[in-house]
Amino acid sequence: MKTIALSWRYLWSRPMGAFLNVLLLSIGLASITFLLLVSSQLDKAFDKDLAGIDVVVGAKGSPMQLILCGVFHIDVPPGNIPLKAVKALQQNPMVASVIPISLGDNFRGFRIVGSNHEYVDHYGGVIAQGKLWDTSMQVVVGSIVARKLGIQVGNVFVGSHGLGAGGHLHGDNPYTVVGILQPTGTVLDRLIVTDTASVWKVHEDYTAVDDEDRKIMEDEREVTMALIKYKTPLAAMSFPRMVNTTTEMQAAAPAVEISRLLNMLGIGTDVLRAFAGVLLLTAGLSVFIALWSAVRERRSDLALLRMLGASPTKIALLLLGEALWLGLLAAFFGVLAGQALTALIGWMLQLDNSLLIGGITWPMELWAIPTLAIGVSLAAAILPAWGAYRVSVLELLQSR
Amino acid sequence: MIQTSKLSFCYPASAAIAFPDIDVPQGAVVLLSGPSGCGKSTWLALVAGLVQPASGLLTVAGQPIGGLSKVAADAWRARTIGFLPQKLHLSAALTVSQNLGMAQWASGQQEDHVRIDATLKALGVADLGKRKPSQLSGGQAQRVALARAVLLQPKIILADEPTASLDDEAAADAISLLIETAKKQGATLVIATHDGRVATSMPPTASGEIGYTALKLSRHIAGSAK
């Protein structure tokens, strides 16, 4: 019989205790798994949505709001900026590309983004059905939008004013779905994209009193913000300052704002992490108590094994084997529960049309979990194993 | 098989215990008797190589005990000594077969089910292999423990108070089973007991057979055996 198999039998000779210890360890490990997965998936989601956007220019206000609104589409815009000003930026030698974005309406909670084909290309959007728009009032929808709302190519819908469901309906200007995009894993999946001109048309028709009014509006056309890519990284030094000081607009660097945001969230994750650490420590203690009392209970059994010829090392290994089993089982169930929890949260957030997390992933950091599990249980087993190592056979002969 | 000469042992911070000399031939039965505290356990521990003599000579199965390292003593004990403890210490977590398998594990051997089954059969408990110790009667449990003691075919079987909790009839049965089993194995049997019934239930020795040796210990304490 192998030592490890014997350890297994001993472990389950106290099924309730073994079960509770596996449970306790698993809960601690699951919390840590969950934190690791969420932070790694958030990072990845942020990275994907941010890729290729060096700076966002929009109306003055909170730079973080600008980023959250323009890049992740989870906040309202600070205001609009003149189209002319955006066109002027396009002429700037530091600027490689400018993608204008116009927000204002939604369809059943999904944002309608007015932009150009470059916006779709930027996120690697590929048409799954139909085609990209070629005139205004045509839209393509992201994969999540299509799935959630059951939208088909050829459907016609009316957008409602504002960024959340339930605003005024723009009944005079219905949109026609001409294409559905393949999933990209980016914010594009939960957007409805149309030509910038569509957004203007809807709102000008809605607000203009007469033709003259409309003419003035056309002159003063606005967009919500512009996503800008630099020609050279050096532009990061001067371009935002130039925009912030010489224009009525503000420039916000997504990378800076996101690291600010993650720092703020960081305090929260640190607290959670500490909490998970305490859980794990408690579990470690419980394993220690279980093994310690196991050695006390089985003192004479262990002494008998010594009498039968087992070396002290072999007896100690028997104890360590039990701890190893606890650690392995807990690592397995902990990671499983952590993944399940992450998938559940991801699913709930998806219902909320919020950030994209979920799915089973195995980032490198996750190897910390089995390492931690085995580390904690073996550490808890050191003293009991030492106790087992020192069991005296004489006690067996003298236990009368 | 067991030879001692001026053997003594000393517990830390107490006076030394001196043991009478003895020379036990192979296949003999030794009745180690004396009141509690006279050093029976210590004598067993010495013979099993668990402790080192303070002075004197002790040779067991041709092996001088004095010179063994702890590791060597463990391996030697696994090969040489079978042990039937007073409390049987069958592991409650394991079945009868697994308890015997554990003895093979402890001695560093492969688990050998053919051997285990044969040994259980020889002791008349072949059908109990899959039971847990808690499902055995007292007599069955003692047979299983004896099976564990003789599983590795030791040269010497040490039985510690084998009749302690048995009535007269069962005690006599236990002693004759022990003697019979040791004889079958050709092993030397040491029965340590303070139970007067054991001596009276020893079977009469037939002519030509090796009889039993009585080793009586008293509370005599040697002044300084060093």
Interface probe with B: pick from A397, A398, A400, most Cβ of B within 10 Å:
A397
What is the reported pLDDT for B224?
37
pLDDT per position as a tens digit, A9-48: 888 888 888 899 899 889 888 988 888 888 787 777 778 8
Q: Assess contact for B175 and B11: CB atoms under 8 A.
A: no
Q: Assess contact for A94 and A232: CB atoms under 8 A.
A: yes
> In this complex, is the C-beta atom of B133 within 8 Å of any C-beta atom belonging to chain A?
no
Please determine, for residue B226, whether its predicted confidence score (pLDDT) is greater than 50: no
Do the interacting molecules here have an ipTM over 0.85? no
Which residues lie closer than 8 Å to A226 by C-beta, 6 or more apart? A56, A57, A58, A81, A86, A89, A98, A99, A100, A101
∠B180-B90-A15 over CA atoms, to 5°?
160
Interval A167-171 mean pLDDT: 73
Q: How many CA atoms lie within 13 A of B9 on its CB side?
A: 22
pLDDT per position as a tens digit, A220-272: 788 999 999 999 888 888 899 999 998 889 999 988 888 888 788 777 777 87
> In this complex, is the C-beta atom of A308 within 8 Å of any C-beta atom belonging to chain B?
yes
Enumerate the H helices of chain A as residue ranges.
Answer: 3-11, 15-50, 63-70, 83-90, 117-122, 143-149, 196-207, 211-219, 235-246, 254-297, 299-307, 312-351, 368-389, 393-398
> In this complex, is the C-beta atom of B48 within 8 Å of any C-beta atom belonging to chain A?
yes
Please determine, for residue B225, whether its predicted confidence score (pLDDT) is greater than 50: no
Interval B98-119 mean pLDDT: 89
CATH number of the domain that residue B180 is part of:
3.40.50.300
- B62 within domain boundaries: no
- B9 within domain boundaries: no
What is the reported pLDDT for A252?
92
- B178 within domain boundaries: yes
The phi-psi region of residue A250 (left if phi > 0; otherwise alpha if psi is between -120 and 50; otherwise beta) is beta
Q: Do A1 and B83 touch (CB under 8 A)?
A: no
- B2 within domain boundaries: no
- B6 within domain boundaries: no
- B59 within domain boundaries: no
Q: How far apart are the CA of A400 and the nearest CA of chain B, in angstroms?
A: 8
What range does the domain containing B160 cover? 25-52+69-216
Paired strand residues for A57: A226, A251
Residues of A in contact with B154 (CB under 8 A): none
Q: Measured between CB atoms, which of B74, B87, B161 is closest to A309?
A: B74
> In this complex, is the C-beta atom of B155 within 8 Å of any C-beta atom belonging to chain A?
no
Q: Of the candidates B106, B69, B111, which has an alpha carbon nearest to the alpha carbon of residue A317? A: B106
Q: Do B86 and A307 touch (CB under 8 A)?
A: no
Q: How far apart are the CA of A291 and the nearest CA of chain B, in angstroms?
A: 15
What is the reported pLDDT for B221?
47
Number of domains chain B contains: 1
Enumerate the H helices of B48-205 as residue ranges.
Answer: 70-80, 96-106, 113-122, 138-150, 168-185, 196-201
- B57 within domain boundaries: no
Interval A327-349 mean pLDDT: 87
Interval A56-77 mean pLDDT: 89
Residues of A in contact with B101 (CB under 8 A): 1
What is the reported pLDDT for B110?
84
Q: Assess contact for B42 and B9: CB atoms under 8 A.
A: yes
Please determine, for residue B174, whether its predicted confidence score (pLDDT) is greater than 60: yes
